[in-house]
Amino acid sequence: MTCSSHALQKFPPPTEEGKANVSVKLKPEVFNPFTLSPLPEQTILDVLVDWVQNKRLFSPTAARGMVITDVTHEVAYCYRLETFTEHRSVCLRFEPQCKTSKATMSPKPAGEVQEPQPWKVPVTPAKMFHNQVLNYRLIHTDRVTGCSYCQEQKCVMCKACCASTRCKGEKMVPCMSLGQVCCEMCVGKGQMFYFKELQVDYRCHLDRYLLGVPGSIPEERISHAKGEILHNGLGQKVCPISTFSVEEVNAASWRMVRSSHSSCPQCRIIQQTSTEGSAKRRIRLWL
């Protein structure tokens, strides 16, 4: 059965939910204590030897024999804000009218029953913080109309012979000399079955702020490095942090949260998580 779609109609969320709203907490946030304990020299040497083994110009033996005279620790801070949103739109779909189509038809004619409002249809994501698209056939949106392609004639002119009925022989038998072929659009039914489909698009947006990352280290490597979680936030809309000891992180948090609440007026925020101060360690060796 063929099934196609027409233009997509977008529906912004109800005003009170789409409105940007960054509240300021009265209570200070609680941060996990962070202690920068020194790494054992052997651990540092093991990492160094492991790294040297992948370099042609360096000798692992020489690396094993190196003597560490000093170690400098530096800390980088990472603030992550994940926003899980949903976007709803409705498209008009159609298929040839058949027995299964009739079974889903509304008993009342169009206009007498109210179509469901897109944002009032209960839909939940299969998994939070994962991109996904869900489609739902909306009830009370069924319409049956005549097929405009064949003008309800159920068949159209044969393009191979232009209705001259010369389609004969083994190679060209599209119309069997009838001059007409079955309408592909309605598969010979003469009528089309229209209905509306709700499309719910769930998206996960990640925003990240890194502070104290040396220019020689790619940000991607820092963000995947192990660190200590200093603060976690979870909510429909998280509040920005404001009492962390590093003011740049507070400012970035405020900027990112405010932006996330207003960047997509067509979307509704379902949930946000913020992870703050995931401290990474960079070690500078003096050999």
Contacting positions for Zn ion (CB under 5 A): 147, 149-150, 158, 160-161, 167, 175, 183, 185-186
From the CB of 94, what's the least distance to Zn ion, in Å? Answer: 11
Question: Among candidates 209, 255, 210, 206, which has minimal Cα distance to 75?
Answer: 210
Task: Please list, in sequence order, all residues whose beta carbon lies within 8 angstroms of the beta carbon of residue 201, skipping any fewer than 6 positions away.
Answer: 86, 87, 88, 89, 133
Strands 155-157 and 180-182: antiparallel
Look at the block and give the residue holding tokens 């692992």: 60
The residue among 153 and 259 lying less far from Zn ion, judged by its C-beta, is: 153
Torsion on CA atoms 45, 49, 50, 54, rounded to nearest 10: 150
From the CB of 137, what's the least distance to Zn ion, in Å? Answer: 22
From the CB of 194, what's the least distance to Zn ion, in Å? Answer: 14
Compute CA 159 distance to the chain's CA centroid, rounded to the nearest angstrom.
44
From the CB of 269, what's the least distance to Zn ion, in Å? Answer: 45
The residue among 131 and 164 lying less far from Zn ion, judged by its C-beta, is: 164
Within 10 Å of residue 287's Cβ, how many Cβ atoms?
Answer: 9
From the CB of 91, what's the least distance to Zn ion, in Å? Answer: 21
In Å, how far are 9, 99, 104, 135, 202 from 196, measured between CA atoms? 10, 18, 12, 10, 19
- Cα(61)–Cα(122) distance, integer angstroms: 64
- Cα(133)–Cα(147) distance, integer angstroms: 30
The residue among 99 and 226 lying less far from Zn ion, judged by its C-beta, is: 99
The residue among 36 and 178 lying less far from Zn ion, judged by its C-beta, is: 178
From the CB of 161, what's the least distance to Zn ion, in Å? Answer: 3
The residue among 36 and 162 lying less far from Zn ion, judged by its C-beta, is: 162
The residue among 167 and 267 lying less far from Zn ion, judged by its C-beta, is: 167
Compute CA 165 distance to the chain's CA centroid, rounded to the nearest angstrom.
53
The residue among 81 and 175 lying less far from Zn ion, judged by its C-beta, is: 175
From the CB of 98, what's the least distance to Zn ion, in Å? Answer: 13
- Cα(270)–Cα(256) distance, integer angstroms: 17
